[in-house]
Every structure is written in C-alpha cells, then in structure tokens.
Amino acid sequence: MSGYEYSYVRATEFPLAVEAAEPVLGRHELIPQGGGREIDLRLRTHTGTQLRSAILNYGCDVVVRLAVPRSAYITTIVLGGRCVCRVDDVYLEAGAGSVVTVSPKQRFGFQVTGACSLKVVRIEPRAMHMRLARITGDWPPSPIHFRPVITGLAGRGQPLLTSAERFFGRPKSRFARHSDEVFVDWLLRHQPHEYSDAIWRRCDPVVTSGASDFAKVLLRADPRGEVSMADLARLAGVSLDELTLSFRAHEGCLPHEYLRRVRLDCVRLLLVAATEELMTVDEAARRYGFRDNQQFRIWYLDRFGEWPVETLRRPLG
C-alpha cells in the first residue's frame, strides 16, 4: 500500500477532541459523561489508498453520535475493553475483537469507558461498492445497508486472524499493498448486509451437500445435545465456514437455525401427545433447551402458524 501517513494527536480539551477525530468519524457529537468538559483523547491515525483509520482512546466515559447521512462507511473494531454501540434502534454490547459496520445512511453511535480502545475505519463508498461489484457482478444502486450485528475479528477460516494491526500500520508487511482491498472484502463476506445472499451464491461450491446431510443426522439424533457448531463441523470433517456454506446452499439456513427447527418439532410432538397430565408449554420448551419463553413462542408461531398453547389444548385426533 502506498500513501502511508501517520499522526499522533492528544487532545485534552473538549472542542479539540471533536476536531481531531473528524477526519475519520466525520461530523459527530461528543458527550462526556459525568458533567466534565475535558477529556484525554489519544488518537493515532493512518491514511491508506482507500481507507482512513484511527485508534482512539478517550480516557474517560463518553458518548459519541455520528451525523446522518455521512459520506462514508464506518467500521468500529474494539481492541480492548468494552463499549455499547447503537445501530439505528439496536444496542449492541461489544467486547474486544468485536466488529460493527454501518452505511452512510444508518444512525450510529457508541458509548465507551476510559479503558476502552477502538479502531475506527472510514471507507469511501467507491471502495466498498467496487469490491462488491467484483464479487457479485452488480454495482449497488444505493449505499449497502449493514445489519445491526457484531462479527468477531478472529476466527477459523477468516483472513484477519491476528488483529486489525495485521492490515494497518505496517507498510513493510506483505499484506500492505492490498490491505485496503482485503479488509473491505472481509467485511463484505463476514458482516451481514442486504447483498450477503448474492455473495453466498457466487461462492465456489467448496463442499457438497454431504457435510450438511451428515450434520443433520447428528442434530436429529440428539436434539437435546449441547454440541457447538464448531464441534459439529469437526465431526462432519469440515471447517465451520464450510459447514455454514453447505447449510446455506442446501438448506437455506444456518446450522443453529436448523437445530432450532428440529427442537421446535420435538416440542410440538410433546404437546400433541400430552400424555403427562401436568405437562405445560414451558416444561416442554425447557426439555429441548428453550430458556426464553417469549422468544420460544415467537419461533413456534412462525414455524407452525399457531401458539404452543393452542397445540397443547387441541384434543388428540
């Protein structure tokens, strides 16, 4: 990568802190918590060919609200500590390694403590849209709308295995020349958005239906089991990414969503039979791992078109 440019800013006054962070965050509102007007912002910036990033530590509890609409996409990576991010009307509690991306049209803000360290990456729309067009063959007609979810930075099969620093701030690294493109590619493939399904359809069929077929047998054989999806992939002889791809391609869902369906079917069988006089909906749900009664009822209604209590009260035959 060319165009490396480093700077380190320490702003101890409230207005200077806003001004120092604007090149990356854009126009934003900074609200110190506790009534103070002074903060200890430590800011290290880096400018690449298509992205601009900064590591921020405010040194005190603050709330940051970004202006809408913005001229760029914003990705926030938690390097240390914890923070709470708000994407539109959804609040996300983010710990170290968490990644959240928002489009220029989405509302975004975060609340951090003094011990929290963030890497904020500003991505120009052309860089994001050009990479999406290369993957899917289509240029998006409007800004890509990212879903309000957290993605982990490190994980098996993901290119960002170490940290965000692997692709930023190392001009002599073998990744440096293409680091912007690699990072945007990773975001488009791992941060859910409205074009995620199109990307999945364009992926090479690295696995056949065999992986998901084998996993389905295991899930149906022991629906009460506590096996993780990573363990399930290991038993099927594939990586977690490959198992996920197989389920998406052949079942139209994720592995944990398939397991939920199996468990809902088992609960329904219990409610239909209702051989135990004291059987209740909550008892049947707990037998198959459903702890949130309200969410369970929503899933049940969505799958069967009726509330679980309706199934329970219906006479046999």
pLDDT one-digit tens code per residue, 15-37: 899 999 999 999 999 999 877 67
Q: Where do the structural domains in the chain lie, given as residue ranges?
A: 6-201, 209-252, 258-313
Query: How distant is the alpha carbon of residue 156 from its chain centre?
Result: 15
Instruction: Indicate whether 55 pLDDT > 80.
Output: yes
Q: What is the pLDDT of residues 243-264, one digit of tens each?
A: 888 888 778 788 999 999 999 9
pLDDT number for residue 207: 47
Rounded alpha-carbon distances, angstroms, from residue 70 to 61, 73, 106, 122, 123 = 24, 8, 9, 10, 11
Q: CA-CA distance, 147 to 92, in Å (whole number)?
A: 12
Tell me if domain 6-201 and domain 258-313 are identical in fold.
Answer: no
Phi, then psi, of 314 in degrees rounded to 5: -75, 130
pLDDT, average across residues 157-178 = 47
Best CA proximity match to 268, nearest among 227, 303, 242, 315: 303
Q: CA-CA distance, 219 to 217, in Å (whole number)?
A: 6
* Domain 258-313: CATH class, spelled out: mainly alpha
Lay out the sheet containing 83-87: strands in order across. 28-32, 62-66, 108-112, 83-87, 90-94
Q: What is the pTM of this model?
A: 0.63
Instruction: Indicate whether 170 pLDDT > 70.
Output: no
Q: What is the pLDDT of residues 130-141, one digit of tens each?
A: 999 988 888 999
What fold is seen in the domain 6-201?
Answer: Jelly Rolls (2.60.120)
Confidence of residue 203 (pLDDT cuts 50, 70, 90): low
CB 247 within 8 A of CB 253: yes
pLDDT number for residue 80: 87
CB 232 within 8 A of CB 258: no
pLDDT number for residue 95: 87
Percent of the chain exceeding pLDDT 90 equals 38
